[in-house]
Amino acid sequence: MDTYILAIVLIVFASFFQGTFGLGMKHIAPLKWEAWWLVHAFTAMILFPILWALIVIPNLFEIISQTEGNTLFLAAFYGFLWGIGGILFGVSVEKTGISITYGIVMGLAASVGSIIPLFQIEGAFEQPSFPIIMLGVALLLVGVAITAVAGVQRDKLHSNSSTTSKSIKLGVLIAVASGVLSAFLNIGFSNAAPVASVAVTQYGVDAQNASLASWVVVLLGAFAMNGGYALYLFIKNKSWNAYRVPNKRKALGWAILAGIFWFAALGVYGQGAALMGNLGPVVGWPILLGLALIISNIWGYREGEWKNADRPFKVLLGGLTVLIVAICILGYANY
């Protein structure tokens, strides 16, 4: 199989995992949120990434120790910033609803997470694909905005309560901050490239597998934020006995499965991006999030979220069509 086609196939698979893992968050009860999230975050950001990386890179920790400290710190710090964005996402959902928040966050995370790594490439403006990439990212933003509008229209039909204008404005501001910070997950991955480079040049690791070493470093910072926040809630809510509740096995199983799916998305995406070369994080990231948005809406349709909302659903289909066009343009940009 052609290398570039394989890269696209991998990112499509990654998008499936990314668009699906959120189903697990519908099965938090009877656990407290912090109890469910700690298990989920540990599985997604520590256990699964390290186990997968060690299987294909036995010298993982030796490779990391060979990388410059500044590189490691910066990559982990970007992961930490992403963790803040994830927490703000939850706060915004409470104030504005899932549709508005998801649309804003996905759009900003996809565009900022693509453009910053592009500008970090030497001679970015001279890249022949530069205008095509910018067009693809712009269309992606339009597609995400249309899907967000469809979600808002659907929620108005299904909701009997109204949120205050002040709360919505604050929620939108928080969602914007979340979207920008969420982009740092991909920026951290892009800046952790020297870790993968050490694995390839000094230890003979395949470039695809070497990307896993980069994720291990970035996600250490991400877990520091997510795990730390969960522990803070344990202290604040005095919920240390949260794991003693009856009938918790199903919720714990979903926490672990959602964690596996979450990192499966990043791990497979990283392998696809590695095959794309320098522009992998630039082109692959918006494709990943755009397809994930499409897949998550497919799951939502199957779950009945668009029942009795024919007009908003037609708007959604228009937004998904724009997303597909944007993804095709981005795919062509690096061909």
The pLDDT of 136-140, averaged and rounded, is: 86
Taking the domains of the chain in order of start, what are their residue ranges? 3-333
| Residue 1 pLDDT level (bands cut at 50, 70, 90) | low
Residue 31 per-residue DSSP state = S
pLDDT reported for residue 36? 93
209: phi then psi, degrees, rounded to nearest 5: -70, -30
The pLDDT of 225-252, averaged and rounded, is: 93
State yes or no: pLDDT of 165 exceeds 90.
no
Average pLDDT, the chain: 86
pLDDT digits (tens, 9 = 90+) for 284-315: 888 888 888 888 878 878 877 778 888 888 98
State yes or no: pLDDT of 201 exceeds 90.
yes
Rounded Cα distance between 4 and 236, Å, is 49
pLDDT reported for residue 102? 72
Contact 261, 19 (CB under 8 A): no
pLDDT reported for residue 159? 64
pLDDT digits (tens, 9 = 90+) for 251-276: 999 999 999 999 999 999 999 988 88
Rounded Cα distance between 102 and 42, Å, is 24
Rounded Cα distance between 37 and 259, Å, is 9
* Inter-CA distances, 273 with 104, 243, 284, 287, Å: 24, 38, 6, 11
pLDDT reported for residue 308? 82
The pLDDT of 203-216, averaged and rounded, is: 94
